[in-house]
Homo-oligomer: A and B are copies of this chain.
C-alpha cells in the first residue's frame, strides 16, 4: 500500500525557450544557476511535455485547463470569462465576457495599446462605461494597470465574433465582425457600444486631467477573446481530490474559482517580475497540508520571454530557484512537478509550440539519468508526454490513482 501524498504543481509560465547567442547559445534555463531544480531532476523523473499536443501553440488558459485535467478541446470557450471571473464579476450562463484593455486612440489610430499602463482613475473610467443599451447591460471592471474585463448580458448573445483589438499599434481599432451568421446581432450591438463609449471616454475628467498632465489618455477600450462561461464540472468532481491555487494572474484565479478550487492570496504576489516567489512556495507548502492538490503559477518567466530579455529570464529563474529550496525537505509527503505551461522563447517574444521540460520529484519513484533541469537535458529523460498526462502522473506518484481494470 502506497502512502497518499499531497501534490504541488508549479507552473513557471512560458518557461521553455531556445538557445540565445547572448547566453553562449544556451537557453535561459540552461544558463541559469538553479541547484534546487537540478537536485529535483537528479532525484526525480524528467522529460519533455508538449502543451496540448506536439506543435500546438498553446495559450496559458488552454494549457492550464489541460494541466488541471480538463481537455480544452472539450471545455475551452475563450478566455474572456476567466478574466471576468478573476475580477470577481458576476456572470450567468448566456452572458458574454471579454478581456479588455484601456488604450490610447489618437485620430482614429491606436498609438498605445496600454494607455501608458494607466494605473489611476481606472475604476472611474470603468464605471462610466458600464452602461445599458436597450435590453443589453454592459459592465466593465478594471484589473491590474490597463487591464479590464467586460461582461455583456442580454438576449441571443454569441461568442462567434472578432476582436476590436488590432493586436498591434499604429492601426485603427477593428470593427467587431460576426464569424458566423448567428452572431450578426451580437456584432451589431457590440459596435454600437464601442462607438458610444468612445464619446464617454474622450470627455471623461480622468482623461482630460491626464492630457493636461502630459499623459496619454485611456480613451479607447480594446476588447478581445469573447467567450461564454463554460458548463464545467468542479476540480473535485472531475479528479476526486481537493484543490487550491497560489497564483497571481486574475484570469487564472478566475479559472480556479470557476472550478471550485480555493484561491489563496499571497501578499506581494501579483503575477509580475519580482513577485514574492518565496511567499508563494511557502504558502503552497502550507496549503498542501489542507488540500490534496495545489497549483502554483509564477508569471515572471513569461513576462521576460515576451520582452525578449534573455538575461532577465535567466535571473528570474535563479530567483525562483532560491524560493524552491523548502520543497527539498518535503519529498516524503509531497509530490512536486515543475514545468511551464508553454514556451515563450525570447527570440519569438510570443508563445511557441516547442515542448517544455518537466520534472516530477518525490521519494521512492523511478528516477532517470538526468541530473539537470533544462530543455536539452530533459530530452534524455524518461518522459515524452502532453499537458493532459501531468495530473494522471501526479495522482499516480501521490498514491491516489484508481486502478484502471483489475
A241 to chain B, nearest CB (A): 14
Query: Chain B contacts of A349 at CB under 8 A?
Result: 1
How far apart are A60's CB and chain B's nearest CB, in angstroms? 7
The listed residue (B353, B368, B401) touching A401 by CB distance below 8 A is B353
The verdict on A392 contacting B53 (CB below 8 Å), with A48-B382, A366-B18, A382-B48 known, is yes
User: What number of A residues sit within 8 Å (CB to CB) of B?
Assistant: 64
Q: Would you call A345 and B366 a contact (CB within 8 A)? A: yes
A61 in complex: contacting residue of B365, B396, B406, CB < 8 Å = B406
- Please, how many angstroms separate the alpha-carbon atoms of A391 and B224 in the complex? 28
Which of A380, A392, A404 gathers most chain B CB within 10 Å?
A404
Shortest distance from the beta carbon of A334 to any chain B beta carbon, whole Å: 17
The smallest beta-carbon distance between A272 and chain B, in angstroms, is: 18
Contacts of A128 in B (CB 8 A): none
In the complex, A228 Cα to B294 Cα: how many Å? Answer: 39
Contact B405 A58 (CB under 8 A): yes
Contact A405 B72 (CB under 8 A): yes
A405 near B353: Cβ-Cβ < 8 Å: no
When A384-B384, A396-B55 are in contact, do A403 and B347 touch as well, CB less than 8 Å?
Answer: no
Contacts known (A54-B385, A54-B389, A366-B354); A79 close to B347, Cβ less than 8 A:
no
Residues in chain B near residue A225, CB distance under 8 A: 406
Residues from chain B with a CB closer than 8 A to the CB of A19 are: 366-367
A301 at the interface (CB under 8 A from B): no
Interface residue A230 (Cβ < 8 Å from any Cβ of B): no
Contacts of A384 in B (CB 8 A): 383-384
Tallying the copies of this chain within the complex gives 2
A392 CA to B394 CA, complexed, in Å: 27
Contact of A362 with B by CB under 8 A: no
Looking at the assembled complex, report how far the CB atom of A205 sits from the nearest CB atom of chain B, in whole angstroms.
33
Whether B375 contacts A379 by the Cβ 8 Å rule is no
Contact of A60 among B2, B79, B224, B406 (CB under 8 A): B406
- A62-B405 contact, Cβ under 8 Å, with A18-B365, A54-B392, A368-B379: yes
Q: Does A348 contact B (CB under 8 A)?
A: yes
Q: Does A350 contact B (CB under 8 A)?
A: yes
Q: Which residues of B contact A48 (CB under 8 A)?
A: 382
A59 at the interface (CB under 8 A from B): yes
Does A76 interact with chain B (Cβ within 8 Å)? yes
Q: A53-B392, A225-B406, A355-B382 are in contact. List 15 more A-B contacts (CB 8 A).
A: A48-B382, A53-B389, A54-B392, A55-B389, A55-B392, A55-B394, A57-B402, A60-B405, A60-B406, A76-B405, A79-B405, A354-B366, A368-B379, A379-B380, A379-B381
Ordered by A's residue number, 10 sampled pairs between the chains whose C-beta atoms are within 8 Å are A55-B401, A56-B392, A58-B405, A59-B406, A60-B406, A62-B405, A72-B405, A355-B383, A366-B375, A379-B380
